[in-house]
Amino acid sequence: MRPVLSRPLGLCAAALLGGGCADKSVQVFNTPPALSIVRPLDGTSFSPEQLIEIEAVAEDSQDSPDLLSLFWTSSLDGDLGEGNPDVNGEIYLALTELSAGTHALTLTVVDTDGESASESVGFDVGYGGSTGAPTVILVSPAPDESFTVGQALTVFGTVTDEEQAWETLELTLASSREGNLWVGNAESTGTVSVPLDAGLSEGEHVLTLSAEDQDGNVGSASVIVQVVADGRPTAEITSPTDGSRFSYTETLSLQGTVGDAETDTELLWVTWESDRDGLLGEGSPDSSGFTAVGATLSVGTHTLTLTALDEEAKEGTDSVVVTVYDPLDTDDDGDGQSENAGDCDDGDAAIFLGAPELCDTQDNDCDLEVNEDWWDTYELNDDSAGAWDLGDVDGFLWSGDSIELSALTLHGGGDEDWFSWEAGDEFLIDNVDITVRVTGLPAAGNFVVELYQRDGSTWTLEDSDDGSGSLSVSFTGDLFDDDEDDWGIRFYATTWPAGSCTTTYTVSISS
């Protein structure tokens, strides 16, 4: 208990008169705290796992509010915790996951002298109410609403239950003609949406939405709808199949069947269309309803549609999606390039635009040249028209002259080296006497050197030699002929040793 405060008083009147008097003092006593629960109100209901917020106010005449001790208890769940008010005496408690049922929540406040005060509030947790079946309401379709065969529809409804969460109810949608159409659960809000994309069969259907709770209680609602034949023609694409791929070079055979319950098949009008290329064909089907048309389509994705039109202008359609591609856009060898992107051999992953050039018989980098990294300084001299002109190879009168060409390469099996020169033939004075030697050739392979006399664009073969290692050709002119001035040689391989790009040879010409 709080210590009793006292102070002495003056002498009593009896003492002053010489008589006796009793000793008395003034005492101050501790008072208990004051407490008030502000919310929730008594009798409030909460759904399972809903946040329950408790607010209260406490005060004490002797203690600061934040020195008071708080204790929370529930009649169902027992102790819920303890704490202190804030300096203003305000108290807050947030509760979740309380047991289902009716709770008497008691708040007790104790001051520093042990004096206490308590207050209680009652509320329900759970759906409460009396035991019974779920409540089911069908929102749509409307009673006696009419649909055509195959027409998509959606059934909407709501379900509620006083004893359990609505999304835990077991739901069934059934048709009197087709049996169970769907089994599932509602949303947590109790809403139900069941799409019937394929529609319903022809006739009258009683659609029933049922909900069963955990106690086996069943609630339901029903609606009657009518499903009728719509009289439209039928159309079905049998070829190509949906998702097919074709080269743009192919002619597609588009095939399908059409029919109508009210119109003779031959009187139907059919069209084939692409959303990219437009009308592909039209006409009447045969007596069996078969229709076909050939079409070459542009590159891209096409939605192909077959449409059947009857005499009453009713339409039936079917569609498939196909992809048309350019084979030259396909990287067949996996080197990262298609033929349209520059790959000159889409069957060899080592050959593509920009690949390293190798000394072989192929155009590895797709630049239309073979082994160009090993060209000598006289390229391009691969034919007579491109022969490298060496100028005059002749001394002045009776004296000979010569020229030597080194570091020449025959960089591939198809490479040829042509050279031309002026020999300076003079009638009776300076006759031509030509010798050409080719040295430094590989021991493997077979090479050919040919000596030609040239007259304008006409080249006449005068001598040739073939083999390996070294070769030579020669010619001695006619003393009485002064037209033997222009000469040339052709050098090539009939058998080229693979990998010999770096092997160099030398040509020596004396004239």
Residues 6+ apart with CB under 8 A from 3: none
Q: Split the chain (511 residues) into runs of 10 and give each run's mean pLDDT.
A: 32 41 55 91 80 91 91 90 91 84 90 91 70 88 89 93 89 94 93 94 93 92 89 92 94 94 86 96 94 95 96 90 92 89 90 93 91 92 94 59 92 93 68 90 95 92 96 86 84 93 94 79
**Cβ atoms of residues 306 and 237 within 8 Å:** yes
Quickly tell me which residue has 């009716």 as its tokens: 102
Sign, CA torsion 136/137/140/141: positive
What is the rounded distance in angstroms from the CA atom of residue 363 to the CA atom of residue 308?
55
Nearest to 66 by CA among 105, 106, 112, 32: 112
> What are the φ and ψ backbone dihedral angles of 153, each rounded to 5 degrees?
-145, 165
Nearest to 509 by CA among 427, 452, 441, 458: 452
Predicted TM-score (pTM) of the model is 0.43
- Domains parsed from the chain with CATH numbers: 34-125 (2.60.40.10), 135-228 (2.60.40.10), 234-325 (2.60.40.10), 373-510 (2.60.120.380)
Contacts of the segment 59-64: beta carbons below 8 A, 24+ positions apart: 59/33, 59/34, 59/89, 60/31, 60/32, 60/33, 60/34, 60/111, 61/31, 62/2, 62/30, 62/31, 62/111, 62/112, 62/113, 63/33, 63/111, 63/112
What is the rounded distance in angstroms from the CA atom of residue 192 to the CA atom of residue 171?
9
- Please state, as a whole number, how many other Cβ atoms lie within 10 Å of the Cβ of residue 419: 22
Q: Return the pLDDT at 17.
A: 39
What is the rounded distance in angstroms from the CA atom of residue 386 to the CA atom of residue 92?
102
What is the rounded distance in angstroms from the CA atom of residue 377 to the CA atom of residue 229?
86
Tell how far CA 362 is from the center of its chain. Answer: 39
Tokens of 167: 């999304």
What is the rounded distance in angstroms from the CA atom of residue 137 to the CA atom of residue 222?
9
